[in-house]
Amino acid sequence: MATEDVLDIRGWVHAATDFVAENTVGMSRHWEYTDSVSMFLTEFLMAVLAFSGIMGTLPVLLWMERKLLGRFMDRRGARTSLRSLWIGENGVTAGEWWNQLPFGTGVPVGMLNRALNDVAGNDHELEVVSRVNNRSWHGVWWLLPGFFQNVADGMKFLTKGKHMVPEKADRYVFEVAPFLIIATTVMCFTFIPLGPHYYSNNAEMSILFLMAVFSVAPLGVFFAGWSSNNKYTLLGGIRSAAQLTAYEIPLLITVLGVVVISGSFNLIEVIEFQADSGVWNVFLMPLGAVLFIVVMVAEVERIPFDMPEAEAELVEGWWTEYGGMRWGLMFAAEYLRTYAACLLFAHFFLGGWEAPFEDTIPYISYVPHIVWVLLKSWFMFIFFVWFRAALHRVRTDQILEFGWRWLLPLSLVNLAIAAALRLWVYDGINEEWPILIPVLITSISLALFILLSIDEDPEALEAQTRPFSVQTVDVAGPGQHRE
């Protein structure tokens, strides 16, 4: 069975709680409550362990963002230098380490490294670059370089001064809004498993509950912006509400496509379906995968969809009036929502805890399944950081137009494709997809992506007269947006 795991955490916890309950409650005059006490202790401990697993691995995302941003933003002039992805910092390198590999296996690595340097490297060996976000080598190496910067940031928020509420703010809503955001964000992880035997709750309709809870936090953002009695926070809250309206519907329809093709509203059953059918959903619904990650970037309000915050024009957006630990908790909630988005993508489209080539590579099944879940989610987080480094902030009208005019119709197309595949292609008897189907769908999707990535016709762009359009072949200048 695909759900076999060397770490049967729930089984171990259940055995331990059974032993404790039988030797305590079972030996008393209330022995009839033994099973109930054991069940309660099991669920309580699994909730604690699941939350600890999430919070224990969350600092990895903060470290990755600082590290990757420092790499992605390593520029020389206007060109992003890919050289910093494999060359050390400030001249600190491991040398030609590939020459130390046995049997000449490092020769192709060295050739690739030299080719990358020739194509995308900087001319100067010790280039002067911006390392503001790259803290990897700050501190002492045996303390995981730069990793504990996150702990220092948390202590800083804890030691901030007393909490202050704006004089004319709606105090009750102002105080409740952060807890609404944080509580619903943490509640999302109740339904997200880290392994086949490592989860807090396995509700039959877990995906439905998860989407409902995930959609509450943006309402808290609007409440926080409105209650602060500040024009900047109010604008941020209104932008958040508009963005929520435009992107929530495509998100739900995209997730519905996953439910239709998998045949279940249960998240664990969706993962098991991918394992039993032999194909990850990303190869069956590449359009759905792209839609999901784009919509999730907008849902967690990260660049390029961070108009509700927009530091350059709204100070700090909807959380301008918050400070201290409340600001720190909302900052953590933002990363928790991003973490949830990455985990959900891994479960919906990348097979969850199922290892790649598990049936062909021996001994790979001995790797704990939580390792694959974390690796896949961290891999997806790279895209979130990549978008932040590469893309500019999109205007509010462009965000809304993109959501309503493009994402919504495409999500309906994705749902139709999922329904067609489930009804007319999938053979429920053999429980496996014909190998031609994912190959054909993936090939067509890649071909369409390449064709659509080609620059548009300049004549068509010149004929476009829409004001404030970002599609233009003319050099930007004052007064050019009108005839």
Cis ω for the linkage preceding 196 (within 30 of 0): no
Rounded average pLDDT over 74-81: 43
Rounded average pLDDT over 393-403: 83
* Residue 313 pLDDT: 62
Short-list 212, 216, 190, 215, CA closest to 203 = 190
Bridge partners for 31 per DSSP:
none
Contact 299, 247 (CB under 8 A): yes
Structure tokens at 374: 């974390």
How many whole angstroms separate alpha carbon 340 and alpha carbon 354?
A: 18
* Residue 79 pLDDT: 39
Contact 77, 83 (CB under 8 A): no
Q: Which residue, chain included where needed, has tokens 């959501």?
A: 403
* Residue 306 pLDDT: 79
Contact 148, 139 (CB under 8 A): yes
* Residue 148 pLDDT: 65
Highest mean pLDDT among 57-66, 105-114, 152-161, 287-296: 287-296
| Terminal C-alpha separation, the chain | 67
Q: Which residue, chain included where needed, has tokens 């230098």?
A: 81
How many whole angstroms separate alpha carbon 479 and alpha carbon 482?
A: 6
Q: Residue ranges per domain, the chain?
A: 153-463
Buried b (16+ CB within 10 A) or exposed e, 318-349: bbbbbbbbbbbbbbbbbbbbbbbbbbbbbbbb
How many whole angstroms separate alpha carbon 202 and alpha carbon 65?
A: 31
Express each pLDDT in 99-129 by its tens digit.
777 777 778 877 877 776 666 554 444 443 4
How many whole angstroms separate alpha carbon 307 and alpha carbon 241?
A: 11
* Residue 143 pLDDT: 47
Greater confidence (469 vs 198) lies with 198
Rounded average pLDDT over 283-287: 90
Determine which of 19-23, 42-46, 353-357, 362-366 has the lowest per-residue pLDDT on average: 362-366
Contact 149, 66 (CB under 8 A): yes
Does the pLDDT value for residue 293 go beyond 90?
yes
* Residue 257 pLDDT: 92
Average pLDDT, rounded, for the chain: 77
Cβ-based neighbours of 133, under 8 Å, separated by 6 or more: 65, 66, 69, 70, 73
* Residue 29 pLDDT: 82
Rounded average pLDDT over 67-72: 72
Structure tokens at 29: 């005059």
Q: State the pLDDT confidence band at 259, using cuts at 50, 70 and 90.
A: very high
Express each pLDDT in 410-446 by its tens digit.
999 999 999 988 888 776 655 667 778 888 888 888 8
Express each pLDDT in 173-207 by its tens digit.
888 888 888 888 888 898 899 888 888 888 888 89
3-state DSSP of the chain:
CCCCCCCCHHHHHHHHHHHHHHHCHHHCCCHHHHHHHHHHHHHHHHHHHHHHHHHHHHHHHHHHHHHHHHHHCCEECCEECHHHHCCCECCECCCCHHHHCHHHCCHHHHHHHHHHHHHHCCCCCCCCCCCCCCCCCCCCHHHCCCCCHHHHHHHHHHCCCCCCCCCCCCHHHHHHHHHHHHHHHHHHCCCCCCECCECCCCCCCHHHHHHHHHCCHHHHHHHHHHHCCCHHHHHHHHHHHHHHHHHHHHHHHHHHHHHHHHCCCCHHHHHHHHHHHCCCHHHHCHHHHHHHHHHHHHHCCCCCCCCCCCHHHHCCHHHCCCCHHHHHHHHHHHHHHHHHHHHHHHHHHCCCCCCCCCCCCCCHHHCCHHHHHHHHHHHHHHHHHHHHHHCCCCCHHHHHHHHHHHHHHHHHHHHHHHHHHHHHHCECCCCECCCHHHHHHHHHHHHHHHHHHCCCCHHHHHHCCCCCCCCCCCCCCCCCCCC
Contact 173, 226 (CB under 8 A): yes
User: What is each CA distance from 3 to 210, 274, 353, 375, in whole angstroms?
Assistant: 22, 11, 9, 18
Q: State the pLDDT confidence band at 455, using cuts at 50, 70 and 90.
A: low
* Residue 131 pLDDT: 42
Bridge partners for 89 per DSSP:
92
User: Percent of the chain, pLDDT > 90?
Assistant: 13
Cβ-based neighbours of 437, under 8 Å, separated by 6 or more: 279, 284, 421, 425
Express each pLDDT in 298-338 by its tens digit.
888 888 887 767 666 666 677 777 777 778 788 888 889 99
Structure tokens at 413: 């197309």
Does the pLDDT value for residue 273 go beyond 70?
yes
Q: Which residue, chain included where needed, has tokens 């953002």?
A: 221
Highest mean pLDDT among 110-114, 214-218, 457-461: 214-218
